A = this chain, B = another copy of it.
Amino acid sequence: MTAPGLTLFELAGANSELRFSPHCWKTRMALAHKGLEADRVPWRFVDKAKIAFSGQSLVPLLVHGDENISDSWRIALYLEKSFSARPSLFGASSAIPVAHFVNTWADATLLPAIARVILLDIYNCVDAGDRSYLRSSREKYFGMSLEAVVADQPAHLSAFRTALQPLRRMLKKQDFICGEVPAYADYCVFGMFMWARCCSTIELLEDDDTVLPWRERLLDSFGRLARSAPSRQYPDGRPLMTEEGTVGAPNSALSVTSGLDRN
């Protein structure tokens, strides 16, 4: 279902179909939850002029008629209000503040933990024109070179898995953060996994992690929207109709290029 006038600016890699931003993925899943489609415009860090009309310089940026909404959290609130007759992203207004906490948990805890694992992979995914910006901004943030950030990758991966403990423990009692079916608080966390999936071949989860089936269920939501999206392993997207076991070996030859803390 297309709602005329919805345009989403998404961070793209060297391969313009590689849309890897965790925050853009939150919005992508929110749109799907609402049964909405948007014209998805690839955007790169150097393209500040392209979205200057919005009065700011971050993506995701949703344009809806005369409205320009940036910041994935604000976009979710906007979609909830503007498309209130469609499936709710929160369930009830009283659930919104608590979902906001989950969003900040994902951003403040998971995002930096994943960055320490995949930062160099992200660098290798972003467009040539974005590399200088990505390197300088992230090296300033971490206070060291990209190479140094990821130097002890096994330790960082272990720290990330430890940080997942609240989610892991909760998923032993319920299928999704939002209960029996996923909603926005799930997408806030899932966006982080999509970021890694798009940019890196590293598996963040161990085989027996209870977080894994949750992630797999979300990959399959909305007609396998996330699973079929172009990623580093599957630059042309994973075939929608192919069974798991019959998909060919991943093509990891794709040289694509990425971003850390966009909203």
What are the interface flags for A88-103 relative to B under an 8 Å C-beta threshold, 1 for contact and 0 otherwise?
A: 1011111111111110
A94 contact set on B, CB distance < 8 A: 88, 90-92, 95, 178-179
**CB proximity of A33 to chain B, nearest CB, Å:** 14
A104 contact set on B, CB distance < 8 A: 166-167, 169-170
Q: Are B108 and A166 in contact (CB under 8 A)?
A: yes
Interface centre among A97, A100, A165 (most CB of B within 10 A): A97
CA distance A92 to B173 in the complex (A): 19
A105 at the interface (CB under 8 A from B): yes
Closest to A179 in B: B97
Name the prevailing secondary structure of the A interface residues: helix
- Give the number of residues in A that approach B within 8 Å (Cβ atoms): 33
What are the interface flags for A125-157 relative to B under an 8 Å C-beta threshold, 1 for contact and 0 otherwise?
A: 000000000000000000000000000000000
Q: Are A98 and B178 in contact (CB under 8 A)?
A: yes
A195 at the interface (CB under 8 A from B): no
A93 contact set on B, CB distance < 8 A: 91-92
A109 at the interface (CB under 8 A from B): yes
Q: Are A108 and B178 in contact (CB under 8 A)?
A: no
Closest to A105 in B: B166
A123 contact set on B, CB distance < 8 A: none
Q: Are B100 and A99 in contact (CB under 8 A)?
A: no
A107 contact set on B, CB distance < 8 A: 166, 169
Q: Are B97 and A177 in contact (CB under 8 A)?
A: yes
Closest to A176 in B: B97
CA distance A100 to B100 in the complex (A): 14
A108/B177 contact (C-beta < 8 A), A92-B91, A95-B92, A100-B170 known: no
Give 13 A-B contacts (CB < 8 Å), ordered by A residue: A91-B93, A92-B94, A92-B95, A97-B178, A98-B177, A101-B167, A101-B170, A101-B177, A104-B167, A104-B169, A108-B166, A108-B169, A109-B165
